[in-house]
A = this chain, B = another copy of it.
Amino acid sequence: MNRKEFRDLASPAAAREAIDSLPLEAGVERVPLAEARGRVLADRLDAELDVPGFDRASLDGYALRARETFGADEADPARLAVVGEVHAGEAPAVTLEEGEAVEISTGAVMPSGADAMVPVERTDVDDGTGDVLIRTSVAPGDNVMFAGADVAAGERALGPGTQITPRDVGLLSALGVDEVPVRASPRVGIVSTGDELVRPGGDLESERGEIYDVNSYTIAAGVEDAGGEAVLYPHAGDDQDEMERLLREAAEECDLVLSSGSTSASAVDVIYRVIDEQGDLLVHGVAVKPGKPMLVGRLDGSAYVGLPGYPVSAMMVFRTFVAPAIREAAGLPEPETATVTGRMARQERYAEGRLRLMPVGVTTDAEGEPLVYPVDKGSGATTSLAHADGVVEVDPDTDYLEDGEPVTVRLFSPDVRPPTLLGVGEDDPTLSRLLDSLENPRYLSVGSRPALRRLRDGTPDVAVVAGPLERDVDADELARWEREWGLLVQSDEADAISGLADLVDADLRFVNRTADSGLRTSLGVALADLADDRGVDRHDLVEAIEGFDLALRAHESPARKVLAGEADVALGLAETADRLDLAFVSLGHQPVSVLANPDRREKAGVRDLERALDSAGETVE
């Protein structure tokens, strides 16, 4: 095997500097006012006209000369002849002479000769003569908004770099501006590589090792979050000519090209060669975890950054190094990073001599103080970040973080709200429906045994366990219900099996659950009973079951193997059989328990869960 090795890793600061040196600005574009919200003004806008453009009546009433009201009051009103009326949106037809008034509507043009107005509430009309009686005195300018009083022509209206709010749209509207010069969004091309990638929505051939392409849409969403415009290019394989053509096409059309996708060494090599030979390679490898295989360079006048292939790594590197550059180019202010300081919920070891960007979740302890726990499922995981709230940066010279050590979490965005409830444990359909009624819960399907372990460590608020488990942890049982479990087979093969004995005796391909799961525990107990009945060793029964070791992690996965024809019998729930239209052989019922950390009973999220359990009727027997 022939692989590019990273000789000298650049420091994170050097990588940032290299990216900052690349010009990403996309220039200026003009957008209609209706689409200007959230965009960034490219130039200063000065008022080109007075607002209002005329002296404007502020109320309904009478326009007049102020001096003719001097001395007027309730007892001794001034009498003026009404010589016309002006409504909003029409030109005054009269000019005011001495002793005259004009009826006027809010927003109408003050007629020539008038210098103030009196609201209708302070007037009476003499029914006989039609004259108006003014029962108050006003000063010149009273109840009139003079031309330019709101905004005056030539006044500085909005400065360059203003991110346009609805309030600014108001100012621009008042000025009659219907097209706004804004910073163009940097176009960011996303080229994903790897023969094994299939776009979401496409058909996946798992047996060929195909996986859905996570990076393309995820990075595209990140680009748009940062104010860029994402352009997705078709997948490139590992062919160098094709890859070069695609990268050049993207470089031609975009301000920045990101490559991402494959973790395969050959695809990475191909990209490396294209940039190194055809462009300008500035950085190759950075001393950060994740992020070591990052590339920074230029190709055909466009900026280029190569992201790591693993989705979590790609997103962390994108957020840390690329998104700030896109925001800068889009003219958007760096968001006031919301940070939370909390205690580590458990020890975390780390000693690789690189800066580490550690995705974490945040929850609260009994006192409402933040608790921080790492969420990474390993480098191949695609989904850890969906269950994370932010990132802790761990220094290269920090070897481990102690349990209880204070750390600072940079939240993914200022509006990240840590979950109200952190639950861990068994997958269960009843539980899933319950969680739907809660506001912002987080539930990690780790299985029953790991759930108990974590509850003992003190991180989650509740653990949901199934089956006949020894639980050596101090916990309050909030609720318990039963679920029916057994064996699932294709409907047309329902005759093949009528109980556990058939699983042992017949020639069937079985799919099991992992040892972590409550179903597996219940199956183990049932097999032990059968062994007792037969007077044989339990181990002999297990050996006779083909596929007993083929253990899958989630409650539906075995059933889906049966559905796909890859197995004959699966361990599972009656509810799953029903939902997936499989035949079901019941082997019994097992309890599902919701166990709460006793210290967290008063936490709002736990109380909400209790209420939801109560109203669903799932209470402790």
Contact = CB atoms under 8 A, between A and B. Distances in A.
B89 A209 contact: yes
A154 B557 contact: yes
Nearest to A125: B1
A562 to B, nearest CB: 12
A1 B60 contact: yes
A209 B260 CA distance: 59
Interface string A177-219: 1110000000000000011111111101111111111111111
Given A3-B60, A170-B311, A386-B158, A335 B415 contact: yes
Given A170-B315, A177-B200, A552-B148, A265 B106 contact: yes
A173 interface: yes
Contacts of A198: 176
Given A152-B554, A381-B150, A105 B171 contact: no
Contact of A212 (B36, B147, B168, B174): B174
A33 interface: yes
Given A49-B560, A91-B209, A170-B385, 19 more contacts: A33-B201, A49-B204, A50-B554, A50-B557, A52-B211, A87-B264, A89-B196, A89-B197, A89-B208, A145-B381, A149-B381, A161-B440, A169-B220, A169-B221, A170-B214, A170-B215, A170-B217, A178-B199, A179-B201
A576 B153 CA distance: 11
Nearest to A440: B161
A148 B436 contact: no
Given A120-B1, A178-B200, A211-B51, A386 B152 contact: no
A553 interface: yes
Kindly name the residue among A155, A199, A441 whose own CB sees the greatest number of chain B CB atoms within 10 A. Answer: A155
21 contacts: A1-B103, A37-B225, A49-B560, A52-B211, A58-B379, A88-B196, A88-B262, A89-B195, A89-B208, A107-B262, A107-B263, A146-B553, A149-B378, A153-B554, A155-B554, A159-B436, A165-B412, A169-B217, A170-B383, A174-B212, A333-B417
B172 A200 contact: yes
A67 interface: no
A207 B54 contact: yes
Interface in A133-158: 145-158
Interface string A72-89: 000000000000001111
A248 interface: no
A565 B106 CA distance: 28
A201 B217 contact: no
Nearest to A223: B166
Contacts of A200: 33, 172-173, 175-178
Given A155-B445, A199-B178, A552-B50, A380 B150 contact: yes
B553 A149 contact: yes
Contact of A554 (B33, B47, B58, B576): B47
Nearest to A377: B150
Tell me the interface secondary structure of chain A in the complex. loop
Contacts of A263: 88, 106-107
Interface residues of A, number: 139
A336 interface: yes
Given A209-B88, A560-B49, A217 B107 contact: no
A109 B154 contact: no
A435 interface: yes
A221 B37 contact: yes
Interface string A1-36: 101000000000000000000000000000001101
A388 interface: yes
A553 B147 CA distance: 8
B178 A201 contact: yes
Nearest to A359: B167
A115 to B, nearest CB: 9
Kindly name the residue among A105, A147, A220 whose own CB sees the greatest number of chain B CB atoms within 10 A. Answer: A105
Interface in A51-76: 51-54, 56, 58, 60
B382 A150 contact: yes
Nearest to A32: B201
Contact of A151 (B91, B265, B383, B435): B383
Nearest to A381: B150
Contact of A208 (B91, B264, B336, B413): B91
A199 B173 CA distance: 8
A443 interface: yes
B145 A380 contact: yes
A344 B209 CA distance: 66
A20 to B, nearest CB: 18
A222 interface: yes
A449 interface: no
B209 A56 contact: yes
B159 A441 contact: yes
